[in-house]
Amino acid sequence: MNAIGFEAPGGPEVLAIGQTDLPKVRPDDVLIKVAFAGVNRPDCIQRAGHYPAPPGASPILGLEVAGEIVAVGNEVPPEMIGQSVAALTPGGGYAQYCAAPWQHCLPVPADMDLKAAAALPETLFTVWHNVFERGLARDGERLLVHGGTSGIGTMAIMLAKAFDIEVIVTCGDEAKCEAARNVGADLAINYKETDFVEAVKEHTGGAGVNIVLDMVSGDYVPRNLQCLAEDGRHVTIAVLGGAKAELFMPMVMMRRLTLTGSTLRPRSDAFKAALADEIAANVWPLFTNGELSPIMDQTFPLAEAAAAHARMEAGEHIGKIVLEVDYG
């Protein structure tokens, strides 16, 4: 099969299409003929040599796909063959065929766009777990999200608004602020021109937000804590701005703040299966019935994965970047 690989870590230019063996299908796996694969920030970090695949996972990039199941392991319901699914994958998505645990798949109905379906699993699983499970979000609360027009950011806006949560986001320019407002953000702050801590205080009348979804970390963390209301929750999912933060712990104690975070990829198959069940019951119907749909940026042919990575790392994208797989 055709797949994207790289001989040594580096910039986007190291990515190239080549031939490799079909993935091995474990007893609880399905083999998916990939129509589209989502591009995510962890793919870029792995390509750069800073995020190795977990033991046993495919070294091929790609954490989410959509396509048709063409083969199944001996512990998988055989009726899944021929079904269209979106899947959270342990790796291997940038290829014509990808193996994934069957319990990490979500059904894609005939009237749902496979391209949109491929853009959902990684951000949907991440946001649902971190905002609603770890962050304990509930209706009537306020959420602050950094990177409001990223794949994670746009997903967080949509899900929060679907559950009656007020959303404040930060973005790097006015065009992105406007895009975030169009997605549903109640307030979009241009962090290059405005101190987001002061803007949050002004918007909330000093009350603050209940949850911060943080992808920056570093020196953003103490500023995020200043934005939190009493009993607020700070959830870290990436450290793009630095791995260390200096905190004033008496504030954490006096305001009863919770600091948590997670990474999804290293979690067990059983955990991801349980998370998929939660999503199937609570959120997936909002996408299959058309009430919600992912914000899409650009689609690139699989062979142009390098250009897709360059676009993501330039920070120009609004929403999800996907790769389209060709069988011609």
Q: What is the rounded CA–CA span in Å between residue 313 and residue 307?
A: 10
Share above pLDDT 90 across residues of the chain, in percent, rounded to a whole number = 97
> For position 152, what pLDDT does the model report?
95
Neighbouring residues of 157: CB distance < 8 A, sequence distance ≥ 6: 145, 148, 167, 169, 180, 183, 184, 185
- Token pair belonging to 255: 């305001």
* H or E segment to which residue 32 belongs: strand 29-39
- Token pair belonging to 104: 């990490």
3-class secondary structure for 103-163?
HHEEECCCCCCHHHHHCCHHHHHHHHHHHHHHCCCCCCCEEEEECCCCHHHHHHHHHHHHC
Q: What is the rounded CA–CA span in Å between residue 304 and residue 269?
A: 31
8 A C-beta contact, residue 100 and residue 87: yes
Where do the domains of the chain lie, and which CATH numbers do they carry?
2-120+265-324 (3.90.180.10), 123-261 (3.40.50.720)
- Nearest 5 degrees, angle CA 320-CA 161-CA 287? 55
Q: What is the rounded CA–CA span in Å between residue 264 and residue 273?
A: 12
Residue type, 131: V
pLDDT tens for each residue of 252-293: 999 999 999 999 999 999 999 999 999 999 999 999 999 999
> For position 279, what pLDDT does the model report?
98
**What ranges in 185-257 are assigned the alpha helix state H?**
196-203, 220-227, 249-255
**Can you tell me the mean pLDDT for 169-185?**
97
Residue type, 177: C
pLDDT tens for each residue of 19-63: 999 999 999 999 999 999 999 999 999 999 998 898 989 999 999
**Can you tell me the mean pLDDT for 109-137?**
97
pLDDT tens for each residue of 69-102: 999 999 999 999 999 999 999 999 999 999 999 9
**Can you tell me the mean pLDDT for 172-189?**
97
Residue 162 has pLDDT above 90, yes or no: yes
SS3 for 256?
coil
Residue 328 has pLDDT above 90, yes or no: no
- Token pair belonging to 34: 């990939």
> β-pairing, 209-214 with 142-146?
parallel
pLDDT tens for each residue of 189-240: 999 999 999 999 999 999 999 999 999 999 999 999 999 999 999 999 999 8
> For position 297, what pLDDT does the model report?
96
* H or E segment to which residue 313 belongs: helix 305-314
> For position 147, what pLDDT does the model report?
93
Residue 316 has pLDDT above 90, yes or no: no
Q: What are phi and psi of 9, to 5 degrees?
A: -60, 155
Neighbouring residues of 175: CB distance < 8 A, sequence distance ≥ 6: none
